[in-house]
């Protein structure tokens, strides 16, 4: 695994021949981050990508969506997020003041999978034809609830598929 600075051009990242790219969280308004939006656009076209929080917003912007400042940011633990595919409610940690406006995403390009149980905002999406996954909250498996491990599993499987092999789920903290 390699960690690169946010301003690393996508061409440099792709030259490392990654099996996948993780777009991490970060502070503030994502719309002025033209360099990061462009990089997200480029890596999404080439390798599996998982974005969380700011990374989720960058993926939305890379595909033409808009972001909106929330009247009340989502901060702290115990935020309910509903996976609309199966009705499961995940208990999440969150720390963001912006959201991807679901109505501005390209029609049919993403499956909108997760929504806030508090205010209905978009919390997760999966691209319908590319191995791109993103969630607005923090699914970091530990400390706290392990409800959101599904994001890491889906990303790991996409990376394994790209490498031509099945990937075994990684146990974090001794839990499967």
Active site residues: 53, 138, 140
Beta bridge partners of 58: none
136 in Cβ contact with 125 (< 8 Å): no
DSSP state of 22: E
Q: Is 81 left (phi over 0), alpha (psi -120 to 50) or beta?
A: beta
Which of 80, 72, 94, 12 shows the shortest CA–CA distance to 46? 12
In angstroms, the CA 126 to CA 149 distance is: 15
30 in Cβ contact with 67 (< 8 Å): yes
Cα separations (Å) of 147 from 1, 8, 118? Answer: 24, 32, 17
């Amino acid at each position: 695994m390699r960690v690169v600075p946010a301003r690393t051009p996508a061409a440099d990242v792709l030259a490392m021949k990654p099996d996948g790219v993780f777009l991490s969280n970060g502070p503030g308004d994502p719309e002025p981050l033209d360099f990061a939006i462009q990089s997200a656009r480029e890596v999404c076209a080439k390798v599996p990508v998982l974005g969380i929080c700011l990374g989720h917003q960058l993926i939305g912007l890379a595909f033409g969506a808009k972001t909106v400042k929330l009247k009340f940011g989502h901060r702290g633990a115990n935020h309910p997020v509903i996976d609309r595919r199966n009705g499961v409610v995940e208990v999440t940690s969150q720390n963001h003041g912006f959201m991807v406006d679901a109505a501005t995403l390209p029609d049919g390009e993403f499956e909108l999978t997760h929504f806030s149980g508090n205010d209905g905002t978009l919390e997760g999406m999966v691209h319908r034809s590319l191995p791109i996954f993103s969630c607005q909250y923090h699914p970091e498996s530990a400390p706290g609830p392990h409800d959101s491990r599904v994001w890491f599993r889906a990303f790991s499987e996409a990376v394994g598929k790209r490498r031509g092999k099945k990937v075994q789920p990684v146990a974090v903290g001794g839990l499967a």
